[in-house]
Amino acid sequence: MNFPGTFSRMLFAMLLICLHSGSAMAQEAEAAASEPAVKGTFDIIFSGGIFGVAMIILLFLLSLTAAYLVFDHLISIRRNDLMPPGLSDEVRKNLLAGDISTAKQNCNDNPSLLSFVLMHGISELEFGWSSVEKAIEDALAEQSARLFRKIEYLSVIGNIAPMVGLLGTVFGMIVAFQSVAATQGTASAPQLAEGIYQALVTTVGGLIVAIPSIGAFAIFRNRIDQYVAEAAYLSQHVFSPLRRRAKK
């Protein structure tokens, strides 16, 4: 057995394996280095520079305001709060009995949309049905306008947020194309694409804030319309005996 020759061949084979492994590892490292690093969510959000960050902060504040308004309206714009159960029946019963002072007291004890309308109608009882009807209509219009003004801020946020996002996007696009002009058009396509997607971040943020705000505004608007219509029906029911007497 030629031991030195066999050992030499084994050593040479091991050397070839090591060289091949090292070459493969070097190629993998070079490929990994050449691949673009995938940015996380926060890296993308805060990649728009100082102006982009300012727009994101403004959109965040608008989203907090919208969330607070939605929560507040969910609590305050409810049927039991606007039209206390049993109030219309109590007031109608007192008016039929001629006890106007007790009817007024019932309204004062239950401040709400319905009590406000009924109080205006009661205050015009001595002038007949026409005056009562006009007072009810005016009170309903006033309360409806008050409730709509309350939810109008959601509509304002829903309209402002996309404009804020668009402002950030336009500014980012200006910066991106300014860099292209400064390099005499030598900026690569990946560099230009990076500037563009950074600019579009604020537009996405604006839409994220605007869409729920406008949706919530539509829901509360329909709810207010429904409650005002119900209050009008209950008011007509309360004063229906007076209307019947006026027609006789």
* pLDDT tens figures, 184-239: 666 666 666 666 766 788 888 899 999 999 999 999 999 999 999 999 999 999 98
C-alpha angle 162/164/165, rounded to 5°? 60
- Are residues 80 and 128 both part of a single domain? yes
Residue 149 included in any domain: yes
Name the nearest CA neighbour of 231 among 83, 92, 106.
83
Geometric angle at alpha carbon 181, from 178 and 185, rounded to 5°: 130
Domain count along the chain: 2
Residues 178 and 114 in one domain: yes
Whether residue 53 sits in one domain with residue 7: no
pLDDT digits (tens, 9 = 90+) for 113-128: 999 999 999 998 888 8
Domain with 3, as residue range(s), is 1-29
Regarding whether 105 and 2 lie in a shared domain, the answer is no
φ and ψ at residue 13, rounded to 5 degrees? -65, -45
| Residues in the chain, overall count | 248
User: Could you tell me if residue 34 is inside a domain?
Assistant: no
pLDDT above 90 for 31: no
Together in a domain, 21 and 64: no
pLDDT of residue 240: 84
The answer to whether residues 12 and 131 belong to one domain is: no
**Alpha helix ranges (H) inside the chain:** 3-34, 41-45, 49-76, 79-82, 87-96, 100-109, 113-122, 129-182, 189-238, 240-247
Rounded to whole angstroms, what are the CA distances from 243 to 117, 129, 130, 220? Answer: 16, 6, 9, 33
